[in-house]
Amino acid sequence: MKYHIVTYGCQMNVHESEKIAGILRAKGYEEESAIGDADIIVFNTCCIRENAENHAFGNIGALKKLKRQKRGLLIAVGGCMAQEEGKAALLREKFSFVDIVFGTHNLSELGELIERKRAGGRGAVISLLPERLRTEEGIEPIRTSYPNAWVNINYGCNNFCTYCIVPYVRGRERSRRAEDVLSEVGSLVREGYREITLLGQNVNSYNSDGAGGMDFPALLERAASFPGKYRLRFMTSHPKDFSAELCRVMKRNEKICNLLHLPAQSGSDRILSLMNRRYTREKYLENLQMLREEIPGCAVTTDLIVGFPTETEEDFEQTLSLVREADFATAFTFVYSPRTGTRAAEMEGRIPDEVSRERIMRLIALVNENARRASARFLGGETEILCEDFDQKKGLYLGRNEEGRMGYFASDRNRIGEFLRLKVDRISGVSLFGEIAD
Ligand code: SF4
């Protein structure tokens, strides 16, 4: 029996697919890379943007023929889209051949749902929990990204940014117990993982529910204290919860990467207020100043949205000027996409598509210029990279430095999982190319 998992969306989903793989492996399934040869196909969906949903719907629909041809094939749909209000009913109506629908709060039930479906009965087995008070523990993931590993520290979100569907589909914030997180990090280090990323919708508010037992800076510092060489990253941070203590912890622990992903979303206070982000442009820049006073040269990356309802040219110019002032190493840029059920979707002042498109092109040009400049700083010098993979197309190994820059080099033996010093002699786009120092 074989499984095939199709994953959409963020790192959180990628890691949850590793857990789904763990559940399926425990039920005796083996991984199958060709979707047509699998006995169970699981879609782990995303609903953060309409595009991601349409994509998933298209791909699920395309399986109708295969389902008819292949007796015993099971199709399961889980994740954020399945959890979204009304989507399970829509899935049942549009795709009557889907066998199992499960949500974000009951991943651990998947094995049981498979049993129920196999036990017979027509129609889909649908299981969605409206909320979950505790974190789901005890699912052994099948990790697929050596030398990198992800560890959840908290789930859900209490922030209700007006454009975001996450609090509705992931529920209120729940922290894992620090001892569970630390025991997982410790095991990963002992198993030889070289880069561990602590994951949460808002890692900075870890333990806001009291369930963790310590705050985020304390957890991060403990996670950085295991013997051996490894790197520690974390995402995502909310600027309103960023603290001086976190900067100090980053500074005094060399295993914590000098890279902070701090989503700004906009440079205009008026838009930030409409987004319910609960910080101002000034406060955001103060955070960066505090960070760079502690760790000069610390790389900062961000997320930016253009075309939020009522965004004027002046508001957008404020975002451009924030990009110039903040000196981001890179930024992930998005055109605002209304999500039904969020407050922003009800707001007036929709920005015409052509205006948003024109703005995002200008923003991307500026972000790219900054990113190229940030990469150029490495030219002629050496930087430590962790080798992660082999790029078949380029015929080169690749890895990232602690600032997140991708570096490529040739090697006649497998270097995956090794920390290496890259002598950078060429930059292409934002990537670094060179030779490995002896
Ligand atoms: S902090 Fe805001 S953007 Fe991030 S998950 Fe929560 S509501 Fe969404």
Q: For the residues 148-162, what does the mean pLDDT come to?
A: 96
- Ligand 1 test: best mutation among 164, 173, 275, most atoms within 8 Å of CB? 164
Contact 239, 276 (CB under 8 A): no
Could you tell me the distance, in angstroms and rounded to a whole number, from the CA of residue 181 to the centre of ligand 1? 22
Q: 161: Cβ below 6 Å to ligand 1?
A: yes
Could you tell me the distance, in angstroms and rounded to a whole number, from the CA of residue 125 to the centre of ligand 1? 30
Give the model's confidence band at 358: pLDDT under 50 very low, under 70 low, under 90 confident, else very high: very high
Q: 167: Cβ below 6 Å to ligand 1?
A: yes
pLDDT at 438: 73
Average pLDDT, rounded, for the chain: 95
How many CB atoms are closer than 10 A to CB 386?
22
Q: 344: Cβ below 6 Å to ligand 1?
A: no
Give the model's confidence band at 135: pLDDT under 50 very low, under 70 low, under 90 confident, else very high: confident
What's the rounded Cα separation, in Å, for the pair 231 and 254? 8
Q: 261: Cβ below 6 Å to ligand 1?
A: no
For residue range 384-396, list pLDDT tens digits in order: 999 999 999 999 9
3-class secondary structure per residue, 145-211: CCCEEEEECEECCCCCCCCCCHHHHHCCCEECCHHHHHHHHHHHHHHCCCEEEEECCCHHHCCCCCC
Q: 158: Cβ below 6 Å to ligand 1?
A: no
The percent of residues above 90 in pLDDT, for the chain, comes to 92
Q: 201: Cβ below 6 Å to ligand 1?
A: yes
For residue range 101-121, list pLDDT tens digits in order: 999 999 999 999 999 998 887
pLDDT at 400: 97
- Ligand 1 test: best mutation among 80, 154, 161, most atoms within 8 Å of CB? 161
Task: Assess whether pLDDT exceeds 90 at residue 411.
Answer: yes
Q: Which two tokens stand for residue 433?
A: 């190319």
Task: Assess whether pLDDT exceeds 80 at residue 170.
Answer: yes
Q: 262: Cβ below 6 Å to ligand 1?
A: no
Domain annotation for the chain: domains and CATH numbers: 2-127 (3.40.50.12160), 145-257 (3.30.750.210), 382-436 (2.40.50.140)
How many CB atoms are closer than 10 A to CB 40?
23
Give the model's confidence band at 52: pLDDT under 50 very low, under 70 low, under 90 confident, else very high: confident
Task: Assess whether pLDDT exceeds 90 at residue 122.
Answer: no
For residue range 268-323, list pLDDT tens digits in order: 999 999 999 999 999 999 999 999 999 998 999 999 999 999 999 999 999 999 99
What's the rounded Cα separation, in Å, for the pair 93 and 88? 9
